Structure 1
């Protein structure tokens, strides 16, 4: 999200510093640097991730470049595996050859499922959105009020089994207004969906567009990530 001015950013940084810093980290401190050890370590992080543990993703590493292969049920899982791998220290790059497995049901059923999820998502104004699916290729179109909703629609579509490619044609007017409930829902979702925040217990409350975060983080990097996650459309200020 584009941060409008330095003063706004500074206020948010100072506010988030109120989160308690602990010595614990969401991932083990020791990360092997040799290729074989690094591949094993990445595989262990997949096994520890409840969203990836049941998938058969193979990992190979050559000079710090990780290659991921195998099949997963959703595009969301494929992208999560890539993000989790990128977050591992000593990984210099990631090549993803992960495929999304075919799912039972018709293209029409998958399109209907995406539309249903759009309609049931508090953070998304979905009344004008359309969905078409053909052979796992989804086109989502229409107009929303904010850029965050535009990206959120794509994320929701990635969670539907059998969708391998998404063509996001949704545009934003930049004039949308968002309720506190909508803002809180999106921040909580974004935190939960980010591998770097695994294991963190962060409480989110929103009143009048002002976000309050409480909980514990392990590193300065986690604090900075949480700042960006909290600065969604409609947020006036972030407080700890």
Structure 2
């Protein structure tokens, strides 16, 4: 088969060149859904990426930053993207943000107030935890028309008994030790007067940001992370072998329960947790579908978990009529920045939601289902949306200079080109580039085989294949068993 020169992979180097990082991010933006690649400029200096230009929503702005942070060699991201979104009357936007918060099963019970002026939402109130505040901000970012969120008046009570400095440090270490996404052995934590100082080495900018959020989650007033350095070699599996060592079932079960305790969606339900040789079974009831899905995801991120069987049942606290649920879903889809322009058919029967219609790609297909799952009263979502593939998914510039700075050539084999694009995305992923992932493509269907370190890596590999333009992904990647790693 003919070789495609411009898609060949560069040799892995100890330090990734700034120009290569910028080129990789720009190409990832081109094939990533929900990002306005043509409006964003990327510049990199010493591994620090600056994003400038415009995007059309806060969700897109955040997504661009997350994509850049996950690229191998990126130390941090300075996000200076401005928001250009269609103007909505203040009264209409306030109605939308209030409905978004009210219809979300978690934030609907929070005592908060929103004011809107010229697309700026000022939110105030008192919450119990830092994570509850992040959840409110996340919901608000999902409303089309919001240009900025002012959250300084959204206070965190934190309870009457505040953690001491030593308790904050201990909690941070415990959370990191049980989080499969973090190499905690290379991270040092010290706390003085509730100011947390982080030092050591992590494998990506995304991992660094995650550790900083854990520190705030544990009660930090301020986090200093200038001595927490990013080096892409720190994600290599051999350096994380302790993470994959067998753990006692009782300890795993307690770690899963502790993870639930930190999740504001899952915490109120207190799901039952049983573990047998690393296999987790979740039992009990939750009040909403989003909590059920998040509980499983939380459990999969715990060290020692080999697989999760989710037996949680969704039992909404109120008997909401199907007609109300349907209207709330339609409203949520209409105000969403990613899928608000599509025409959906929504059918609800006894809390079970059926979504029909057409969207452009897999990302929009999954996002629409996720929006529906976040509405109170929804017990299940059957996603029958058709992804037409109408948006360009080549990952290669249709005209102008080639993305990788090499001579352009015709692509004689679409399947071969797609496989190369998937490998390219895996190659630039800080969590995947070193792992044993094999890619084969036939008629636009990608087959992933091999072995990865974690369930998080398995999901990421599949997601990158869809982003590269795969029509369907058959993900047969295996995860290292804790007992045999």
Question: Which band: TM-score by shorter chain?
Answer: 0.5 to 0.7
The correspondence for 2:432, drawn from 226, 235, 239, is 235
The correspondence for 2:178, drawn from 84, 106, 120, is 120
- Higher RCO structure (Cα 8 Å, ≥6 apart): 1
**Cα displacement (A) at 1:75:** 2.9
Where structure 2 has 5 or more consecutive residues not aligned to the other structure, the ranges are 1-20, 34-86, 238-242, 244-262, 265-289, 298-354, 368-392, 394-425, 434-460, 466-472, 474-485
Contact 2:203 2:230 in 1 (8 A): yes
| Cα distance in 2 between the residues matched to 1:7 and 1:36 | 37
Whether 2:100 is the aligned partner of 1:100: answer no
1:221-232 aligned at under 5 Å gives the runs 223=363, 232=429
**CA shift in 2, pair 1:10/1:159, >3 Å:** closer
Contact 1:42 1:85 in 2 (8 A): yes
TM-score relative to the length of structure 1 = 0.61
- The answer to which of 117-126 and 230-239 deviates more is 230-239
Runs of 4+ more than 4 Å apart: 10-14, 216-222, 224-227
The correspondence for 1:166, drawn from 223, 227, 233, is 223
The correspondence for 1:36, drawn from 91, 94, 102, is 91
**CA shift in 2, pair 1:62/1:177, >3 Å:** closer
1:1-240 aligned at under 5 Å gives the runs 5=24, 9=28, 33-97=88-152, 98-103=154-159, 104=161, 105-160=163-218, 162-169=219-226, 170-178=228-236, 223=363, 232-236=429-433, 238-239=464-465, 240=473
**CA shift in 2, pair 1:11/1:91, >3 Å:** closer
- State how many pairs are aligned: 195
**CA shift in 2, pair 1:101/1:139, >3 Å:** farther
**CA shift in 2, pair 1:138/1:56, >3 Å:** farther
- Give CA-to-partner distance per residue, 1:46-85, whole Å, 9 cap, x none: 2343553443222111232110112223333323323332
Contact 1:144 1:172 in 2 (8 A): yes
Where structure 1 has 5 or more consecutive residues not aligned to the other structure, the ranges are 15-31, 183-191, 205-215
Coordinate RMSD, CA, aligned: 4.5
Q: Secondary structure at the match of 1:153?
A: helix
**Cα displacement (A) at 1:136:** 4.1
**Cα displacement (A) at 1:220:** 5.0
| Cα distance in 2 between the residues matched to 1:65 and 1:138 | 31
**CA shift in 2, pair 1:134/1:177, >3 Å:** closer
TM-score relative to the length of structure 2 = 0.33
Bigger Rg over Cα: 2
